[in-house]
Amino acid sequence: MGLLECCARCLVGAPFASLVATGLCFFGVALFCGCGHEALTGTEKLIETYFSKNYQDYEYLINVIHAFQYVIYGTASFFFLYGALLLAEGFYTTGAVRQKGRGSRGQHQAHSLERVCHCLGKWLGHPDKFVGITYALTVVWLLVFACSAVPVYIYFNTWTTCQSIAFPSKTSASIGSLCADARMYGVLPWNAFPGKVCGSNLLSICKTAEFQMTFHLFIAAFVGAAATLVSLLTFMIAATYNFAVLKLMGRGTKF
């Protein structure tokens, strides 16, 4: 077999939906985990510098932040492995569907990539279990996506308050009464002191590089979570389609 024919067969048998979903999954998880980790670190510094002078007030928050950072490490490792397995399963099931479609044209010698994916697919087992696992993972990640919007909402409200302080003509409230209260969002207990920052002091915080960077990092993490959710939906649709086609062809019970 010539090189050109081998490349053509490889492209024809490639599961393009799974390839796109894998790339989007790796990109989204990397963005979510990397930016989320640094954003949490930035939040810790902002809280201990401006919102509370007593370590006991934000000790629990720091423990939660560190726990989330360890979860991020595990999330990145898990999705890297699971994305690779889903891609291999996509090669296997897509190859089986297309092989069935061209079965009447005779047998051909499989190249190395097809053999590897075929053996790995056999080892992974029945493709319907990946549909179920991916569905459950999508539901869980939907909750993660919703939770990733919470810090964006908090920082956006703080930034909006700072804009009102910077341009007092746009609001009827006095500058001194415009505050960002970390206790209101449950970030700090109600007995934390000072717990909130108001007026020109809040504006000076919003102008710091720490605040701006942390805000943008949370936005990037939110975008990464959205990209990961889209990739999981794409995986689930592609796997469901391949499994349904194989069932209709009478091949579903042979995996």
Instruction: Give a yes or no: residue 115 inside a domain.
Output: no
Helix (H, G, I), strand (E, B) or coil at 90: helix
Structural domain contains residue 68: yes
- Between residues 168 and 13, the one the model is more confident about: 168
Number of folded domains in the chain? 1
Q: What is the mean pLDDT of residues 77-97?
A: 78
The answer as to whether 219 is a domain residue is yes
Tokens standing for 176? 């001194």
Average pLDDT of the residues in 107-111? 49
In a domain, 204, yes or no: yes
Q: How far is CA 130 from CA 18, 20, 28, 66, in A?
A: 13, 17, 20, 32
Determine, yes or no, domain membership for 119: no
pLDDT given for residue 143 in this prediction: 96
CA distance 87 to 109: 22
- Confidence tier at 247 by pLDDT (50, 70, 90): confident
| Whole-number pLDDT of residue 227 | 96
Confidence band of 18 (pLDDT split at 50, 70, 90): confident
- CB atoms < 10 A from the CB of 154, how many? 18
Domain membership flag for residue 155: yes
Task: Please calculate the CA angle 208-213-219 and round it to the nearest 5 degrees.
Answer: 135
Q: Is residue 236 part of a domain?
A: yes
User: Looking at residue 5, what is its pLDDT?
Assistant: 58
Mean pLDDT of the chain: 82
Closest CA to 76 of 201, 221, 240: 221
pLDDT range class, residue 250, cuts 50, 70, 90: low
Asked which of 81-95, 119-133, 208-222 is least confident by mean pLDDT, the reply is 119-133
Of 2, 53, 21, 39, the residue nearest 188 (C-alpha): 53
The token pair that represents 35 in the structure block: 């930016």
pLDDT of 208 strictly over 90: yes
pLDDT at 81 over 70: yes
Q: Using an 8 Å Cβ cutoff, are 227 and 30 in contact?
A: no
pLDDT at 239: 78
Domain membership of residue 66 as a residue range: 15-98+126-250
Residue 170: pLDDT over 90: no
What CA–CA distance (Å, rounded) separates 219 from 190? 27
Distances (CA, A) of 4 to 10, 101, 200: 10, 22, 68
Domain assignment present for 188: yes
Check whether 87 has a pLDDT greater than 90. no
